[in-house]
Amino acid sequence: MKDRVRSYIIILLMAMVLVPVEVFAESQEDEPVYKDNRKIYIKLVEKLKDNVDTVSSRVSNALTANGWEVVGAFYPLPPDMCKYKTKVLIIHNDQYWQKIYGVSPYAKFVYPLKVNIYGDENGVNISLTNPVALNRLISPELETVSSDTLKTLSDLLQGAVKGHNVTKEEGTQLDGNSIPGIGGGLLQDNVVTIYKGKYKSDKLLDSITKYIQYSLKRSRKGYSLVYTIDMRDKGIIFYGITKKDLEKTAFMITGEKRVTGKNSCPGIDHANAFPMEVVIDTTGKSIREETLRVMFRMKTYFGDTGEAAFVKHYLMPGSIEDEMVYVTYPDIYQQ
C-alpha cells in the first residue's frame, strides 16, 4: 500500500513538471508591461560635497544647454530643527510635452517634471520625479517616450556634477494606472474643476489669469506662485502654487517614521512633490480651470507614508483642496 501511494505521488509530481507553466500562473502576455521604474522618485546622485546652491547652478546649466527650460526654482520649507535644505527645479521641454499630451489630454496632470536637490548627513543628493511612473497613470502607450526621457535626464543630471551616481527608486510604488487604497483610483476620476467659463474669449482668459496672479501675489491663505508655463497658443497654462506651512507639515508626516541618527530629516526627499499645479485649459468649447484632487495627489507623491498616516490626517487633503479653490477661483463677472 505504501509503495502504491509513493508511486502515485511520483506520478503526480512528474505530471506537474510536464504541465505548461501557464496552467498554474499567468502567462507572460498577462504580466504588467512595466517591470522597472515603478516608484515616483528616482535618486540619481548622492554624497555630493558641494552645497545645494552650487549643485543647483550646475544642474540648471546642464539642463538649459540641452533643451530643458528651468521655469521655476524655490526652497521648500523643511521641518523644524532640520538643518538641511532643499531646492526644487521645475523643468519644461516643449517636445516632451507635445509627445505626452498628444497621447493623452490628462498629461496636464502629470506635468511638469521636477528635480529635488537636497542635503543630508552624507552630503547633497539629486532626485527626479519619475516620468515612467507618472505617465503610467495616464497611458500605457507612453512607455518608450517615458523611458527615453528618463535616460536623457539621468545622463544630464549625473553628468552635471561629480558625485556618487546611483539609481534608487523611492517613494510611492505605481504599478498601473490606478492607485489602490483610500483616496486612490483612476487619475481621470480625480479631476477637480475649479471654474468653468460660460463662454470662451481672449478677454475672459486674460481676466482669469490676471485674477489668479493677483490673488497669489497677495499670498491669500499663505499660498504663493512658484512658476508659470504659459502655452496659451496650445490651449494650456500651468500655475505652480505652494504654501510653506503645508510643505513643512507634509515633510514631517512622511519622514517621522524614517528618522534615524544617520538621517535626521528624511521627509525632504519628497520635496519635489511641490509645487501643486492648477491648469487653465482652453482646448475645448469653454475655459476650464482644473487641478487634481488633493487626496489623490497625496497618494501619488506621499503614498509610501502609509494608510495609518492618511487616516490620522484625513481632514488635511480636503482642507488644502478648499484653500486651493478659494485662492484661485476667479471671482469675475461672466457676461
Domain ranges of the chain: 39-328
Instruction: Give me the pLDDT at residue 30, please.
Output: 36
Q: How far apart are CA 134 and CA 107, in angstroms?
A: 9
Instruction: Give me the pLDDT at residue 36, please.
Output: 65
Q: How far apart are CA 15 and CA 172, in angstroms?
A: 41
The cell numbers describing 214, all together, are 493677483
Q: Classify residue 249 by burial, with Cβ atoms within 10 Å: 0-12, 13-18, 19+.
A: middle
Instruction: Give me the pLDDT at residue 308, please.
Output: 85
Give average pLDDT by consecutive 10-residue segment, the chain, 335 residues: 40 35 31 61 97 98 98 98 97 98 98 98 98 96 97 98 96 91 93 94 95 95 98 97 98 95 96 98 96 97 89 90 96 57
Let me know: does 270 contact 251? Beta carbons within 8 Å: yes
Instruction: Give me the pLDDT at residue 227, please.
Output: 98
Instruction: Using the structure block, give the residue that is written with the C-alpha cell 552650487.
Output: 54
CATH 3.30.310.70 fits 39-328, yes or no: yes
Task: Select from 103, 76, 98 the least CA-distant residue to 87.
Answer: 76
Instruction: Using the structure block, give the residue that is written with the C-alpha cell 546622485.
Output: 45
Sorted by sequence, the CB contacts under 8 Å of residue 170 that are 6+ apart come out as 39, 40, 41, 42, 43, 127, 269, 304
By 3-state DSSP, what share of the chain in percent is helix, strand and coil, each rounded to 5? 45, 25, 25
pTM higher than 0.85:
yes
Instruction: Give me the pLDDT at residue 50, please.
Output: 96
Q: What is the 3 state secondary structure string of 156-176?
A: HHHHHCCCEEEEEEEEEECCC
Q: How far apart are CA 205 and CA 197, in angstroms?
A: 9
HSE of 95 in the Cβ direction (CA atoms, 13 Å)? 7
Let me know: does 154 contact 82? Beta carbons within 8 Å: no
Let me know: does 110 contact 186? Beta carbons within 8 Å: no
Q: Classify residue 310 by burial, with Cβ atoms within 10 Å: 0-12, 13-18, 19+.
A: buried
Q: DSSP class of residue 21?
A: G
